[in-house]
């Protein structure tokens, strides 16, 4: 699925709060943690059996960024990264999501973002959890 086709699918489903970035190697879909996120996952027909959400289209450019949601902040990012490296070939980066509070301070959220190489399949991702 091309970035243009993905955008049309999301807009047709009345999902407007997203960004798609695409180049010759990869396509990334960014969704804010809002009802739009869950709606997009539903529209893209991905089962929600596990506690992260990803969509891998049938085309040659899979999405390769996903969010593991709801991890306790007690989980150390180094140990999370070590666990993911052991289970997920092609891991590129892991970082904890942050938001800015009303006073302008960065607050860590109980979610991490994981980026993998473009060849990682949805089966590889499901094996992580």
pLDDT in tens, 2-24: 677 777 777 777 777 777 777 66
Average pLDDT, the chain: 65
> How far is the C-alpha of 24 from the C-alpha of 29, rounded, in Å?
15
Between the two ends of the chain, the Cα-to-Cα distance in Å is: 26
pLDDT in tens, 110-126: 677 777 766 655 555 55
Q: Which residue has the tokens 């949601």?
A: 69
Whether the pLDDT of residue 59 is over 60: the answer is no
**Number of domains the chain is built from:** 1
Residues 6+ apart with CB under 8 A from 45: none
CB 2 within 8 A of CB 29: no
> How far is the C-alpha of 126 from the C-alpha of 66, rounded, in Å?
11
97: which 2 tokens?
Answer: 């999501």
Instruction: Look at 87 and 25; give whichever has higher pLDDT.
Output: 87
- Residue 24 pLDDT: 65
Q: Which domain holds residue 121?
A: 3-126
> How far is the C-alpha of 127 from the C-alpha of 129, rounded, in Å?
6
Of the pLDDT bands very low, low, confident and very high (cuts 50, 70, 90), residue 72 is: low
- Residue 46 pLDDT: 43
């Amino acid at each position: 699925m091309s970035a243009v086709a993905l955008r049309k699918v999301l807009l047709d489903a009345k999902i407007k709060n997203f960004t798609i970035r695409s180049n010759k190697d990869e396509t990334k879909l960014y969704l804010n943690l809002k009802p739009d996120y869950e709606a997009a996952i539903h529209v893209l027909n991905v089962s929600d059996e596990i506690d992260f959400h990803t969509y891998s289209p049938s085309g040659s450019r899979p999405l390769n960024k996903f969010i593991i949601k709801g991890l306790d902040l007690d989980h150390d990012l180094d140990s999370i990264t070590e666990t993911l490296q052991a289970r997920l070939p092609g891991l590129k980066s892991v970082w904890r999501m942050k938001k800015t509070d009303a006073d302008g301070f960065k607050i860590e959220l109980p979610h991490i973002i994981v980026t993998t190489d473009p060849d990682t399949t949805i089966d590889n991702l499901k094996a992580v959890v």
